[in-house]
Structure 1
């Protein structure tokens, strides 16, 4: 039972890793951009994770982790920031390769503005809760930067499509993590709205995690072209 979180991590990355050698996507050839994006994003989110453990925003059920820790975090939680971003960037690249036509292009700015407005509204009502405050505050800053400061390359229309598709495995993985539960949330630090057992905030945690990874991935690719 104490290998559950580790097995979930392995399941998340198994198919994306095996299929990375698909000739059309040629994902393994992009590892030199994927890995630094995951590393830099992982540092930010691991600091965030450590802070949340200290603030008792969430904790890890000892019955479902191996007990090996690094810097106070279960090794499985550290692996999470490798396996999930890898799988999500893989989804992003597969969609771009197999479905290059994307009708979201003309709606992406409107979607970003909608999410920016949602961030402001939720921060207004939920600023007293740590997870809500940091989660939506961080998403607001990243979205603002990507849409209104970054002018070198535009990718949000591709990002939103990948995010929507990533929600499918998200519900499976986070459903297990929160239903068993492997990760235990403090009700005092979340809004209290859930989709099944998944806190509402987790949907936007995924968005922040994926957005930062994809932005850095595209940035590293752009640097290589230049």
Structure 2
């Protein structure tokens, strides 16, 4: 058995879990909102993952996983949708607690419109590639819903700040996963642009994953508040 991917998951979770009892953030008290958000989002992304494996869009290097499978996926990949969202929501809450002032409030809608426009442009040129099509199509739908259909929960100015900070551990973790490599991409199904060894699409995969998690997290919190 090789524990590389498993150890990466545990490393992602370690500090956010230990620091969840920080007196200012009290993240442990928000677990009742975090858990359903992660589970619902994870169900969507696991279905996406299974589809990608069946379509041979990506696969997992057997040298770096334990070989334990669940629902047709390596157990480490399923854990990924628990550990990464937990860490990202933790970052989101820490930033809100320690830095409540946020200069992005005036610009968040403009940023969202820019991202939506980028999704449309990339879909126009990359619609024939499955990862590109599903990734940017899904992000477009979720972002458009959050900005233009959802009227009660406004958080995008805080979301974009958390996303930018989350890119730091993203480059470390995804850098390992794609350079070793643990995850293998079908070059025919991606645009071919990379930042180091990380496919360009992965940046927006992270955005979609984080956005759905944070929206549901805020949704469950708002229901209790009301």
| TM category, shorter | over 0.9
The answer for the alignment partner of 1:115 in structure 2 is: 115
Q: Does 1:10 align with 2:10?
A: yes
Q: Alpha-carbon deviation of 1:17?
A: 0.0
Give the alignment's TM-score, normalised by structure 2: 1.00
Between the aligned partners of 1:61 and 1:160, the Cα distance in structure 2 is 32
**Mapping 1:188-199, distance limit 5 Å:** 188-199=188-199
Say how many residue pairs are matched.
226
Between the aligned partners of 1:210 and 1:152, the Cα distance in structure 2 is 19
- Which string of whole-angstrom CA distances, capped at 9 and with x for unpartnered residues, describes residues 151-175 of structure 1? 0110000000000000000000000
Q: Alpha-carbon deviation of 1:87?
A: 0.1
What is the Cα-based RMSD across aligned positions, in Å?
0.5
The answer for the alignment partner of 1:68 in structure 2 is: 68
Q: Alpha-carbon deviation of 1:133?
A: 0.1
The answer for the alignment partner of 2:156 in structure 1 is: 156
Q: Does 1:205 align with 2:205?
A: yes
The answer for the alignment partner of 2:180 in structure 1 is: 180
Q: Alpha-carbon deviation of 1:71?
A: 1.1
Between the aligned partners of 1:78 and 1:52, the Cα distance in structure 2 is 14
Between the aligned partners of 1:71 and 1:106, the Cα distance in structure 2 is 44
**Mapping 1:6-155, distance limit 5 Å:** 6-155=6-155
Q: Alpha-carbon deviation of 1:31?
A: 0.1
Between the aligned partners of 1:115 and 1:4, the Cα distance in structure 2 is 34
Between the aligned partners of 1:79 and 1:42, the Cα distance in structure 2 is 9
Runs of 4+ in 1 over 2 A off after TM superposition: none
The answer for the alignment partner of 1:217 in structure 2 is: 217
- Which string of whole-angstrom CA distances, capped at 9 and with x for unpartnered residues, describes residues 93-131 of structure 1? 000000000000000000000000000000000000000
* SS in structure 2 at match of 1:184: strand
Q: Alpha-carbon deviation of 1:208?
A: 0.1
Between the aligned partners of 1:71 and 1:79, the Cα distance in structure 2 is 12
Unaligned runs of 5+ in 2: none
